Amino acid sequence: MATTITLPTADGRLAPWTLLGPGSFTPAAPGTPLPRIAYSAAHVVADARAAIDPWLQCAIDWDATIGYRRRLWRLGLGVAEAMDTAQRGMGLDWPTSLALIGRSLDAARDLPGARIASGCGTDHLAPEAARSVDDVIRAYAEQMAAIEKLGGKLIVMASRALARVARGPADYERVYDFVLSQAREPVILHWLGEMFDPALAGYWGSGSDVAAAMDTALGVIAAHAGKVDGIKISLLDKAQEIRMRRRLPPGVRMYTGDDFDYAELIAGDGVGAHPNQRQSDALLGIFDAVAPAASAALAALGRGDADRFHQILAPTVPLSRHIFQAPTRFYKTGVVFMAWLNGHQDHFVMVGGQQSTRSLPHLAELFRLADTAGLIEQPDLAVQRMRTLLALHGVAG
């Protein structure tokens, strides 16, 4: 029997919603080779019972957090650890990030083939405390050494401190020359747009000129191509990603960070002299929330069934665009909300109290879109939890 729940709408009404139920897609079986490298930037589960000041301190439920990563690995996805999806820079501090990276690396060793890369930044250096490019270099060096000591692969995150002190492209070139020269193995670079983090506006030293910024980034990559596994760009502009992808050196991957057009970008356009210039791999926050669909779609693509790939992912795109709508930096709330609805954690509490960054109508629409995409895994549980949230807001569902 179908389940119906009454949900608020954006215009202030209440309207019934009858659930469609889980999707008909089947995620890839563990160990199934996928045709793209696909990292999910994974969220953290807060310890809701910790006696802390939640706006000022960070407490993690380690068992639930690592358990969620094991789920992603079983679905054939890699884990991009301690990234912005894990609230890096929005409640997750560097000491806790390093502890998270260490625990995740330990867990990955128990699962053959589990892929993991870890965020390396400068977030222990407050941007206002940075006085020079040398300060930024020292900050990167400290985190690089700590992660590499644990055996971790680096994702070199964009630096708020560098964005503050750099005076032009040459300063970025100097910093990345150091980082790439010192890295033990090829890294993934990370270009995060200001919609994700306003403090990163003008990254690469060319203000709002994206073409010039891209030239600088490509110059850095060309100078150190052997030390660059790939670059993730999160500009929410597929044309810019394709333009950059076609200019990458052979063997350097484009990891799409476009949570609006990922299906099209992963499928590729067949244009480019080398395979890495024709399609994107993935490093996406939305793959945390849509992991079963992403796994099933990639498996279909691996079988040569592009139609099924698009059929599975197409309904997830409206959901993703909703989760990542402006202010985009608050998308983590939707990701954690999905994990709670689907029973992957016991509460809807976030590090830094970030569960408060989205409205009840926003979350209600997210519920509807997730159901439409076939991503409500346990309808009865999801309805029970949604009704709890409605009651908390004074709404009878």
In a domain, 378, yes or no: no
In a domain, 66, yes or no: yes
Least confident of 85-89, 172-176, 231-235, 270-274: 270-274
Average pLDDT for residues 55-75, to the nearest whole number? 96
pLDDT digits (tens, 9 = 90+) for 327-377: 999 999 999 999 999 999 999 999 999 999 999 999 999 999 999 999 999
Instruction: Report how many domains make up the chain.
Output: 1
Distance, C-alpha 303 to centroid of its chain? 26
In a domain, 141, yes or no: yes
In a domain, 353, yes or no: no
- Alpha-carbon distance of 123 to 183, in angstroms, equals 18
Supply the pLDDT for residue 31: 85
In a domain, 386, yes or no: no
Instruction: Determine what percent of the chain is predicted with pLDDT higher than 70.
Output: 99
3-class secondary structure, 185:
coil
Instruction: Tell me the average pLDDT of the chain.
Output: 96
Question: Does the pLDDT of residue 103 top 90, yes or no?
Answer: yes
In a domain, 367, yes or no: no
- Single-letter code of the amino acid located at 136: V
Supply the pLDDT for residue 30: 87
Alpha-carbon dihedral of residues 304, 69, 80, 244, nearest 10 degrees? 20
Average pLDDT for residues 192-198, to the nearest whole number? 95
Question: Does the pLDDT of residue 397 top 80, yes or no?
Answer: no
Non-local CB neighbours of 316 within 8 Å, separated by 6+ positions: 263, 286, 290, 293, 294, 373, 375
Domain ranges, residue 243:
25-345
> Could you tell me how many residues make up the chain?
397
Supply the pLDDT for residue 396: 81
In a domain, 264, yes or no: yes
- Peptide bond before 275: cis, by omega within 30 degrees of 0? no
Question: Does the pLDDT of residue 161 top 70, yes or no?
Answer: yes
In a domain, 15, yes or no: no
Supply the CATH number for residue 299's domain.
Answer: 3.20.20.70
Non-local CB neighbours of 30 within 8 Å, separated by 6+ positions: 74, 75, 76
Q: At what angle do helices 291-302 and 306-313 cross, to 10 degrees?
A: 170
Non-local CB neighbours of 253 within 8 Å, separated by 6+ positions: 37, 229, 230, 231, 276, 280, 281
In this prediction, residue 1 has a pLDDT band, given cuts at 50, 70 and 90, of low
